[in-house]
Amino acid sequence: MWDGIFTGLSTAVMPFNLMMVVVGCFAGTFIGMLPGLGPISAVALMIPITYGLDPASGIILMAGVYYGAVFGGSTSSILVNAPGCASTVVTAFDGYPLAQQKQAGKALALAAYSSFTGGTVGAIILLFAAPALASVSLSFQSSDYFALMILGLTAVAAFSGKGQVLKALLMTVFGLMIATVGTDLTSGTTRFTFGSVDLIDGVSFLLLAMATFALTEVVMTVLKGQHREEEPDMDMASLGSMKLSREEVEEVAPTIARSSVFGFIIGVLPGAGATIASFLAYGLERNLASAKEKLKFGKGALRGLAAPESANNAASTGSFVPLLTLGIPGSGTTAIMLGALIAYGIQPGPRLFMDNPDVFWSVIISMYFGNLVLLILNLPLIPYISRLLVIPRPILIPLILFFSITGVYLVSFNSFDIHMMVLITVVAIFLKLLEFPMAPMLLGFILGGIMEKNLSRALTMTDGSFSFLWDRPLTLCITLIAVLVLLLPLASAWYRRSLTPGAEAAVKEGEG
């Protein structure tokens, strides 16, 4: 192992490969900032460029583009509520409110620090535990994935305001319903396509996210009449300091540490990826918060911004475990990288770190350099990036519309997706006017497909019996945790109602 690490280190610190890290991080950050484009598009654009490079340099470049795009995707989420990629949708929940509160500088700085920490923690764990983690990811079966998705759905309360739990549950069901549109992977039959060929592959998550956040925000701004404001209600002097106070650092440090490790673990599981990691980390963090802290989530909570940013970058690093050690792509982006490795004549799998140690270890070691480069690149640029907020709205709104629609179109090159996005935007505006939260719908949609697929497999293995929920200790443990997470808020509410008014006031004062 140590011989391999030294081989990888000597390969990664070659001047040309270091330049590939810098180029990849810069290109990825820039593409990630554009709403709708994200890491899959960024890595796909790099494939023609890498054909003339040796395998180690080519994969280092694509890896830099990958986590650079995830790193940069938070910028548009925070500043204009238009997620740069799917994994930064959750960043907008608290990042955008912070920008509206004239704390854009602080939000971007915190996102940069959280991303750097998440990526670095992931790279260190990956360096020393990659072979061992491969066996962990292999030990997860369909029943375990199903239980994990159920646990993820219990976080729905984290995405709802006070007194909106029922609305959040309804929106989660709506998201699960949208996830059923398309082709059933187990039987091969089409469902709810209404005879349309364009719906055979289902609805794109990116399309759904851009419609419910970017386009909806733009239309709501127009409906409120704010689009006529030539001058925005903030200037560069009021964007707030980039510095975090000592109290704020102490508040977010445990969150960043927890979310980094948690995000990496989720990223290691094949098919999970950075998007699921960011949703689950946000839900976990809100569930761990006190009653007083929970009220801040969705309104500019620093912990609500730090959790998904740490988790999605750690998960991006973790997704290289199944790719490099098992040859299984953990996400759409790593699937493209798998194709690039095979094109180089390299077969990812258990023998990769023995047959091609320079590729295996140099990619892992370059991740640490990449995260350092991203931090150095992004922090000085924050005052200039923040100038997006002072662009007059009559100019900014058409730009957001252009990049959102173009980003979705470039994924499929199908005009039907544009029509679908407009339709979903109209529905989302109607629901938003009725104060239905959008995030639970996205949570239900992203977990729905994985949950259905693994439920089908688990039922097949047990001849249609639900005994798979308690047959395996791991599945049983995850299921019990999900039940506890569901019951705890109900028990807490019942306990509060059973208290006398004076005692209830004392409990609230103690939590505060």
Domain boundaries, the chain: 2-511
| Pairwise pLDDT comparison (177 vs 298), residue with the higher score | 177
Burial class for 358, CB neighbours closer than 10 Å (0-12, 13-18, 19+): middle
The pLDDT, as a whole number, for residue 507 is 47
The pLDDT, as a whole number, for residue 246 is 83
Taking 50 as the threshold, does the pLDDT of residue 305 lie above it? yes
Give the residue-averaged pLDDT of 318-328: 76
User: Which sign does the torsion angle of CA 129, 135, 139, 144 carry?
Assistant: positive
Q: How far is CA 403 from CA 45, 78, 388, 410, in A?
A: 17, 16, 14, 10
Phi and psi at 289, nearest 5°, equal -75, 155
The pLDDT, as a whole number, for residue 236 is 47
The pLDDT, as a whole number, for residue 231 is 44
Provide the percentage of residues in the chain whose pLDDT is more than 70: 82
* Range picked from 14-23, 39-48, 227-236, 440-449 for highest mean pLDDT: 14-23
pLDDT digits (tens, 9 = 90+) for 198-242: 888 888 777 887 788 778 877 877 777 655 544 444 444 445 667
The pLDDT, as a whole number, for residue 158 is 57
- Residue 443 CA to residue 457 CA, distance in Å, equals 22
The pLDDT, as a whole number, for residue 330 is 63
| Pairwise pLDDT comparison (206 vs 293), residue with the higher score | 293
| Pairwise pLDDT comparison (226 vs 459), residue with the higher score | 459
Q: What's the residue count for the chain? A: 512
Residue 492: pLDDT band (50, 70, 90) is low
Give the residue-averaged pLDDT of 107-128: 86
Q: What is the DSSP letter of 199?
A: G
The pLDDT, as a whole number, for residue 271 is 65
3-state helix, strand, coil in the chain (%, to 5): 80, 0, 20
The pLDDT, as a whole number, for residue 75 is 81
Taking 80 as the threshold, does the pLDDT of residue 187 lie above it? no
pLDDT digits (tens, 9 = 90+) for 243-278: 778 888 888 899 999 999 988 888 877 666 788 888
pLDDT digits (tens, 9 = 90+) for 156-170: 665 665 667 778 788
| Pairwise pLDDT comparison (385 vs 120), residue with the higher score | 120
Taking 60 as the threshold, does the pLDDT of residue 77 lie above it? yes
The pLDDT, as a whole number, for residue 106 is 86
The pLDDT, as a whole number, for residue 347 is 73
Q: What is the DSSP letter of 110?
A: H
Among the residue ranges 229-243, 306-320, 411-425, the one predicted with the least confidence is: 229-243
Question: What is the SS3 assignment for 225-279?
Answer: CHHHCCCCCCCHHHCCCCCCCHHHHHHHHHHHHHHHHHHHHHHHCCCCHHHHHHH
Q: Flag whether the pTM goes above 0.75.
A: no
